[in-house]
Chains A and B, each alone.
Chain A
Amino acid sequence: MRKLTKASVFWQAAFLLLLVGGGVAAVQNIEANLARSGISVSFGFLGSQAGFDINESAIAVSSTSSYARVLLAGMINTLILSLVCIAGATAIGVIMGVLRASNHYLGVRVAGLYIEVMRNLPKLLILLALFLFAINTLPSVRQSWGLFDTVFVSNRAIYLPAILPGSGMRLLTAAFVVWLVSIAVLGRFSRRVQDRSGVRYPVIWPVTAFILAVVLVSGLFGWVDFPVSYPELKGFDFRGGHRISIQFLVLALALSLYHGGQVAELVRGAIQAVPAGQFEAARASGLGFLQTMRLVVLPQAVRIIVPPMGNQYLNITKNTSIALAVGYSDLVSVMTTSINQTFRPIELMSLTMCVYLAICLAVSLAVNLYNARVSGGGIAR
């Protein structure tokens, strides 16, 4: 029960007065300071030409693009980098966490050393050291290491063959969509059958095999064409193919390694939080090791791990902003370049903060929804 006492009204009024007063003073100072440089706060500049190019982006960007488009490209780069790092950190973290929780003599120690080193080093140091190592060790573009003349590795980028749009590309996209949908639909159907009759029908393997077969057969018989562009060394750089910059690769590796250590600790904790009796009971009822893990231990571990893991994924997304240190064009680095050109820190920073807050909100919403789903029902309380 809340009582509105005189004291509470007084303190809140005083606080609000202070806050509003400070805010008004700050805004007035900002306006006065900006007016001295002859600018006022407005978002109109977003439509004007940015005049700088960014080295790699998923959408077409040139030096004639507008600020809005360049910022959008930066945001997409941040999202791509985050997804790659999330996948990498999860893979490394699960392997290391399972090793740490295992009873393998060497495995426990190797994983323990890895986790400890990653816990005690700053991410920026890992990033810069790896970047320096990559730049020093890998050959220059002209002396790239080639693999069958299709893949080239240099200290500027990795060049891969790219599948150009065509009927083959359309088939692959369609196959992927069909794969996702049929696994979701058939999986639900199979679970309903299992609930009713106890018979388990496998879903993932048959569907994957069928779709792979369709794609392979149509490729081999030439029913669809796969126009491929191979990278070729022309002058000082490669033309054609797909280019992944060394900055992106090093960032993905460094953040995956760094956050892999933290994910490993979460995984270890979650596995050890599942009572050992569950494991033993499952083995005693005749399930194999993998079945025990998949059907008994992991579903329980996942419930424990989802909230901290969501938090961890958010941290990864925010930490991709260290991209600035090696010159990869993520959202923050595009923002700083724009600020340096336009001197509009207020508009650009509020935009960028809104993007990060939106991502943050979306992830915590997803985690909350998932939590509501896994914690509701199931166990009778």
Chain B
Amino acid sequence: MSVLSEEVPFAGDAIVRPPRDGFVRQVRSRLFATKGDTALTLVLAAVIVAFGTFALDWLVIGAAAPWGSAQDCAAARGACWPFVVEKHRLILFGTYPYEEQWRPFLASVLLVGGVGASMLPSFHNRRLLWLWGAASIGFYVLMAGGYLGLESVQPERWNGLPILLMLAIFGLVFAYPLGIGLALARHQSQLPAIRAFAVLYIEIVRGVPMIMVLFLGLFVLPLMMPEGVSLSPLLTTMIALVFFHSAYFAEAVRGGLQAVPDGQFEAANSQGLTYVQKVRLIVLPQALSKSMPEVMNTVLGAYKDTSLVVIIGIHDIMATAKMAFSDPGWQHYGLEAYLLVGVWYLITCWCLSSYSRWLERRTS
């Protein structure tokens, strides 16, 4: 019997936890530890209670129930949910022919589904091209009609959600490759003239407000066209958005390019790769994954800023919300309409930013 064989209690085996604090003590240590903490807690609690009671009263207690009528709204002191029930189709699809509104609905689902699929890592290859080729054709056929026995609908009557999605998504889809090209043009020394152009372009576009670029598309782009060529406002807006966002993408991607070690460039050169091979096989895969957080930030900002097209008279979801409460019978319920739009943006932006956080965790 040796002494060594006996079980010696080792401090590391059993994790010793301090006793858990009771509820009262937890509250005290978290909220009322010092005088400053107490003051802050009281101020914040007052703000939360005031805001919370107001929101609860406006949204639920004082609101007219969704199945009510316009008369109920006039009597209610809070929100008018019957307005949302009555006008939700107008807010979503605007003046698209009422009978045909399943088409913009399907078109929106197609685009949202396309974005969802593009987020899957298994789509991060050539399949993405096929996906968006098919999605854009499907979107156009559904919205414009004229094929497959669908009634033809003029672009002037496309508005609401599909327009927002179309401008945001296709604007970004075209701007991203252009931005990569600009970033590559800026991040090289072989072609100084092209580099100078890229620098000038990126800095000028980033130095002016987005609305200025939209107005350039509205006023100046049509003037640049030869006689007889006319561009629809939707098309000029799309072109302006692509040019605008590409400069921001270029800056985001340039950050990634700068983070690729010089040795990678040199190694690629010494292997005898051509420029295109070097960029496609060595540089871009690393630069793009490094710049992903910044690119996702740009995407989020660009998506939110697409709403500015309202100012130049494109009818996106914010404009159709305004249409809805311009109806004489429902004039006082603008906040409800904007709340609906706000909820849409909150949900979609939250999905985008959660995805970007997930992507960051996955790559790091």
What is the interface of chain A, defined by CB distance below 8 A to chain B? Answer: 2-3, 5, 8, 11-12, 15-16, 19, 26, 29-30, 32-34, 36, 104-107, 110, 116-117, 119-125, 128-129, 132-133, 136, 318-319, 321-322, 324-325, 332, 335-336, 339, 345-346, 349, 352-353, 356-357, 360-361
B31:A30 contact, CB within 8 angstroms: no
Tell yes or no: B335 within 8 A of A by CB.
Answer: yes
Chain B interface category by residue count = 35 or more
Q: A360 and B207: CB pair below 8 A?
A: yes
Q: Is the CB of A106 within 8 A of B216?
A: no
Interface residue? B134 (CB, 8 A): no
Using A2-B192, A352-B212 as known contacts, list a sample of 20 further A-B pairs with CB atoms less than 8 Å apart, ordered by residue number in A. A5-B190, A8-B191, A30-B224, A104-B30, A106-B44, A107-B44, A120-B346, A124-B311, A125-B318, A125-B342, A128-B318, A129-B334, A129-B338, A321-B211, A325-B310, A332-B212, A332-B215, A345-B223, A346-B223, A360-B207
Q: For A124, give its contact among B204, B215, B220, B318 (CB under 8 Å).
A: B318
Q: How far is the CB of A71 from chain B (nearest CB, A)?
A: 14
- Interface of chain B: mostly helix, strand, loop or mixed: helix
Q: Is B194 an interface residue (CB 8 A)?
A: yes
Indicate if the CB atoms of A26 and B224 lie closer than 8 Å: yes
Q: Which of B105-113, B286-294, B300-308 lies at the interface with chain A?
A: B300-308
CA distance A123 to B311 in the complex (A): 13
Q: Which 9 A-B pairs have the closest CB atoms?
A: A120-B349, A345-B219, A360-B207, A105-B30, A321-B209, A318-B209, A122-B304, A122-B307, A26-B224
The smallest beta-carbon distance between A36 and chain B, in angstroms, is: 8
Residues of B within 8 A of A132 (CB): 334-335, 338
A107 touches B227 (CB 8 A): no
Mask, B191-218, CB within 8 Å of A = 1, is 1111001000000101111111001100
Query: B341 near A125 (CB under 8 angstroms)?
Result: yes
- Residues of B contacting A117 in the complex (Cβ-Cβ under 8 angstroms): 346
**Contact indicator B338/A128 (Cβ below 8 Å):** yes
- The 8 A CB mask of B294-332 against A (1 = contact, 0 = none) is 000000100011011011000000100010000000001
Residue among B37, B193, B211, B341 having the largest count of chain A Cβ atoms under 10 Å: B211
Interchain CA distance A11-B305 in the complex, whole Å: 36
Find chain B residues with CB under 8 A from A349 CB.
212, 215-216, 219-220
**Chain A residues with CB under 8 A of B223:** 29-30, 33-34, 345-346
* Chain A to chain B contacts (Cβ below 8 Å), 20 pairs: A12-B192, A29-B224, A106-B41, A121-B349, A122-B307, A125-B338, A128-B322, A129-B338, A136-B332, A319-B209, A322-B308, A322-B311, A332-B211, A335-B215, A345-B215, A346-B223, A349-B216, A353-B204, A353-B212, A356-B209
Minimum CB–CB distance from B192 to chain A (whole Å) comes to 8
**A375–B44 alpha-carbon span in the complex (Å):** 38
Quick check: A104 and B345 within 8 Å, CB to CB? no
Of B48, B224, B227, B300, which one neighbours A110 at CB under 8 angstroms?
A: B48
Given A122-B307, A125-B318: A318 in contact with B208 (beta carbons within 8 A): yes
The verdict on A12 contacting B310 (CB below 8 Å), with A33-B227, A104-B41, A332-B211 known, is: no
Cα A184 to Cα B215 with chains together (Å)? 44
B137 is an interface residue with CB less than 8 A from chain A: no
Q: How far is the CA of A288 from the CA of B194 in the complex (A)?
A: 56
B150 at interface, CB cutoff 8 A: no
